[in-house]
Structure 1
Amino acid sequence: DDEKYDAVGIAHGTDTLVYTATALALALHGKNPEKSGLRIPVCITGAQNPVYEQGGDGKFNLENLFRVLNSSIEEGVADVLVNFWDKVFLGCRTLKTSEKNFDAMESPSYPKVGLIDGTGVHIYKNLLRKKENAEEKLNIAPKFGRGVVSFELAPGIEPSLILGFITSGGVAAMILKSLGEGNVCSEGEFSLLPAIRQSTNEYMTPIFITTKFVGGNAVATHYETGYEALKAGAIACFDHTDVAVDVKVRWLIGNGICSSIEEFRKAMKTSFAGEVTFLK
């Protein structure tokens, strides 16, 4: 019940923090891409060191969590954020990029939405959703489906491996983390095109193409190998992070938003929580 709270802050382990941030963004903003029901700011932080460790980042990040929330309330922000070290990110665009650096989070495909410096916390509200534009009542979509399989592609991956998962049953969707911006092998014995066609046409199982490279954009039309995958029935994921693709597909399934491959294709072009930029 967001009417009882001005904001929500969450301290979280860093390894899965971005998964939680993305899941919360989708669940709280809800199914309507035109208007969110979230009316308060939610911010998540973590640390590379325990909060009690002297000289670490735990206390610093936790203190800044409350400062970010206070500034977000003042600015009328109603979005899901991540603060880490001296930066603030949109939750569903954030990735962990380091195991040891204090500056461990990045947002490679979307500008940072805030900065923390000696003069205070600066929230860039023009990059965020606002309470004044939200629906009058929170209408969450909190369910996440199962049966989503993710493959990181490498040269020599056998198509039979992909088909083996699909034909075994229990797979609701498959994500292929591609080489480059949506490129998959399209010739010879390692061509994945027949497997993609069979999965989408015969088994009606959507195949999503994303990229494993930080900041990549799986448009999959700049090179023939990517374009052929789309022609075979694969779904491009554009500038979603690989984490956002995984979480979003589960969210789409769990909340019954998509029931056909074409509906999945449309949904991956749709921003429900700021997770993708689709240029027509």
Structure 2
Amino acid sequence: MESTPKILLIYTGGTIGMVRDYPSGTLRAFDFKNLLQQIPELRQLECDIHSVAFANPLDSSNMDLQHWRQLARLIAEHYGRFDGFVVLHGSDTMSYTASALSFMLEDLAKPVILTGSQLPIGDLRTDAKENLITTIQLAALQDKDGPVIREVCLYFEYKLYRGNRTLKVNTEHFEAFASPNYPELAVSGVHLNVHRDRLWKSQRKGGLKVHTELENRIGVLKLFPGMHPDWVCPVLENQQLRGLVLETFGAGNAPTAAWLLEALEAAVKRGMHIVNVTQCAGGSVLMGRYETSSGLRDIPLIDGRDITTEAALAKLMYLLGAGVAPRSFKTIFETSLRGELTEN
């Protein structure tokens, strides 16, 4: 007889961990120690649920590298005892955390699924209960080879996504997240439909490797019509900046002004790694397709293809922290490591 899957719930903070005190209207922390008493529906799931919480739960806007390291270490510490992990997280930076964890947790053979909610768990119209229940159910899915899901994911409003493909698209609707360039991994309706052919399948074999060295001397530069050299050039000339995500127009296009191309080229020659990412929510960079991107290709910038800004930042932090050699950095970045890029 197969053993009951064991799931570890990790509460970092966020709306999903709050309940409203209706007489006063204030929010207070949810008691995860009595989870089954407060959400009896969880008893119908065939899994053993345990929970742990950050000592000081935080609003996700305060999420930082130290918290990502704490999460990765918690998962590593309990990795041998649990079959799946559910991370409860505020929605504002959830896609950033999901992207970062996907790179920090190499050779992951178990599910790590982030979820949250738009409304507190005790509200009448809350989305928290469904998100929590279904995420735990997905994390507990097993077949004869072990866990069905073996990657970092994000679940929100009936859909499971690859975490490093997501971005937050709405502050008011329950459908707060989207994955424009990769289809959902599972859909929860009358039936729970998992698209197994879309799940990430690591080509490596071996135990979990946790990477906690991250380099945050990086930045984002969003192009816009009429930008002035007086503020753009100092960014590109910053000697401490090791990486940059350049958000360009359309399919990776930029102004052909000589001052901009010269500043970008000088930064790359000096050793800055610059990734060309489209400002559009969906679609891909196609450097060289138009004259306005040929100069960027010739510099050359790193081709971000269809990676999100969130994943590009996390990947820069990870590769720079890992000390990847400059001569191979561009090639490795342009290679899909955790399913964050569509392969050509």
- What TM-score comes out, normalization by structure 2 length? 0.73
Of 100, 103, 124, the match for 1:26: 103
Q: Secondary structure at the match of 1:88?
A: strand
Q: Give 1:18 deviation, angstroms.
A: 0.4
Q: Which residue of 2 is the match for residue 211 of structure 1?
A: 278
The answer to whether 1:263 aligns with 2:328 is yes
Find the partner of 2:126 among 38, 53, 56. 56
Is 1:157–2:222 an aligned residue pair?
no
CA-to-partner distance for each residue in 1:143-170, whole Å, 9 max, x for gaps? 2102101111101223343331233421
- Max Rg structure: 2
Amino acid at match of 1:98: N
Partner of 1:65: 135
Q: Which segment is superposed worse, 263-272 or 14-23?
A: 263-272
Correspondence for 1:91: 163
Partner of 2:287: 220
What is aligned with 1:32?
A: none
Is the 1:142–1:255 Cα contact (8 Å) retained in structure 2? no
Offset of residue 233 of structure 1: 2.3
Contact 1:61–1:83 (CA<8 Å) still a contact in 2?
A: yes
Q: What SS class does the counterpart of residue 137 from structure 1 fall into? A: coil
Q: Is the 8 A contact 2:253 2:293 kept in 1?
A: yes
Q: Determine the C-alpha separation between the residues in 2 that align with 1:72 and 1:221.
A: 45
Distance 1:172 1:72, change over 3 A: farther
Deviation at 1:176, TM superposition (A): 1.1
* Larger RCO (alpha carbons 8 Å, 6+ apart): 1
**Counterparts in 2 of 1:168 and 1:95: CA distance versus 1, 3 Å:** closer
Matches within 5 A, 1:1-280: 1=76, 2-29=79-106, 37-71=107-141, 76-119=148-191, 121-130=192-201, 135-187=205-257, 191-201=259-269, 203-256=270-323, 258-260=324-326, 262-279=327-344
**8 Å contact from structure 1 (residues 27, 142) kept in 2:** yes
Structure 2 residue matching 1:177: 3-state secondary structure: strand
SS of the equivalent of 1:208 reads: strand
Distance 2:130 2:151 in 1: 22
**Structure 1, 192-201 or 64-73: larger mean CA deviation:** 64-73
Q: Counterparts of 1:38 and 1:200 in 2: how far apart (Å)? A: 33
More strand by share: 2
**Does the 8 Å CA contact 1:21/1:81 hold for their aligned counterparts?**
yes
Can you give the 5+ residue segments of structure 1 that lack an aligned partner in the other structure? Answer: 30-36
Q: Contact 1:175/1:246 (CA < 8 Å) preserved in 2? A: yes
Counterparts in 2 of 1:149 and 1:207: CA distance versus 1, 3 Å? same
Q: Deviations over 1:40-82 (max 9, x none)?
A: 1111101111111111211111111111112366663211111
RMSD after superposition: 1.8
Identity of aligned residues (%): 27
Preserved CA contact (<8 Å) 1:209 1:237 = yes
Distance 1:186 1:200 in 2: 17
Structure 1 runs of 4+ aligned residues shifted over 4 Å read 72-75
Structure 2 CA distance for aligned equivalents of residues 172 and 130 of structure 1 = 31
In 1, are the aligned partners of 2:100 and 2:315 still within 8 Å (CA)?
yes
Which secondary structure does the structure 2 equivalent of 1:3 belong to? coil
SS at match of 1:200: helix
Normalised to the residue count of structure 1, the TM-score between the two structures is 0.89
